[in-house]
């Protein structure tokens, strides 16, 4: 099974900050990595698929990148509505797996 | 726009079987490249993929739950179900159904969860 590790677990940031979240896969998954945002009491929302493709309707301040088995989600200028938990997820093979999540909280 | 909706009991006794249904509307369950999926989230925890069945009837389960879990399509082909046997308090969670959709992208088939139900909270307690 493919394991995903995320870092950091928590980010304390302010509005306007640039925030980066890392996700590392335990084996090669090419670009089969997706990012989701989840707010309390809400279901996850797809932000980015295929490592770097922005889902329709998602603001352009969200970007994704890949280097080998390392993936990064960057929020270029954090907005109040971006305080949430972010999960990476691999769609390369079954069983599908999620990273443990990164909570972005107000500093 | 496909819409998914979970239904079932909110309380299950320990050692019993948890049975949930996900109703699918606005889309075909026979669409190629789609895996109909169950995911859960224990209180305060992350997302745990439970399993899926595909448009051609293939199933795949989380190895940690495989001996207790069955996911299948309903006879009307407008819903699919989850059955988790011998539940314990550790199975208390928000259960979500989702559509795992495959699309052609840059020469590959990319899979992601593009539609989710609102979730149903299931508590295992006597």
Instruction: State residue B100's pLDDT score.
Output: 96
The residue in chain B having the minimum alpha-carbon distance to the alpha carbon of residue A1 is: B63
Interchain CB contact of B15 with A (< 8 Å): no
- Give mean pLDDT, residues B3-27: 97
Give me chain A's average pLDDT, please.
97
Residue whose C-alpha is closest to residue A99's, from B112, B45, A89, B93: A89
- Say if residue A60's pLDDT is above 90: yes
- Give mean pLDDT, residues B21-40: 94
Say if CB A99 and CB A14 are below 8 A apart: no
Instruction: State residue B56's pLDDT score.
Output: 86
User: Does the distance separating the beta carbons of A53 and B112 come in below 8 Å?
Assistant: no
Residue whose C-alpha is closest to residue B21's, from B90, B97, B91: B97
Give me the residues paired with residue B103 across strands. Answer: B110
B44-101 confidence digits (pLDDT tens): 999 999 999 988 889 999 999 999 999 999 877 899 999 999 999 999 999 999 999 9
| CA within 13 Å, CB half, A51 | 19
Look at the block and give the residue holding tokens 């069945």: B53
CA dist B87 to A18, A87, B80, B122, Å?
Answer: 43, 27, 20, 11
CB atoms within 10 A of CB B121: 13
The residue in chain B having the minimum alpha-carbon distance to the alpha carbon of residue A98 is: B47
Interchain CB contact of A100 with B (< 8 Å): yes
Interchain CB contact of A99 with B (< 8 Å): yes
User: Does the distance separating the beta carbons of A98 and B106 come in below 8 Å?
Assistant: no
The lowest-confidence range among A96-105, B4-13, B67-76 is B67-76
């Amino acid at each position: 099974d493919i394991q995903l590790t995320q870092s950091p677990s928590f980010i304390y940031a302010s509005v306007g900050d640039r925030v980066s979240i890392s996700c590392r896969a335990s084996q090669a998954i090419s670009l089969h990595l997706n990012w989701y945002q989840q707010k309390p009491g809400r279901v996850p929302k797809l932000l980015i698929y295929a490592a770097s493709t922005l889902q329709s309707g998602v603001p352009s301040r969200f970007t994704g990148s890949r280097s080998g088995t390392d993936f990064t989600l960057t929020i270029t200028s954090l907005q109040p509505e971006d305080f949430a938990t972010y999960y990476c997820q691999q769609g390369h093979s079954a069983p599908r797996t999620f990273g443990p999540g990164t909570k972005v909280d107000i500093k | 726009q496909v819409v998914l909706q979970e239904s079932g009991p909110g309380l299950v006794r320990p050692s019993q079987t948890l049975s949930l249904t996900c109703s699918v509307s606005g889309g075909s369950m026979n669409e190629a490249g789609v895996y109909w999926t169950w995911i859960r989230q224990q209180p305060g925890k992350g997302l745990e993929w439970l399993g899926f069945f595909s448009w051609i009837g293939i199933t795949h389960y989380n190895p940690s739950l495989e001996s207790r879990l069955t996911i299948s399509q309903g006879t009307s082909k407008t819903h699919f179900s989850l059955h988790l046997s011998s539940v314990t308090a550790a199975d208390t969670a928000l259960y979500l159904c989702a559509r795992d959709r495959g699309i052609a992208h840059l020469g590959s088939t990319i899979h992601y969860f593009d539609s989710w139900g609102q979730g149903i909270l299931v508590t295992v307690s006597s």
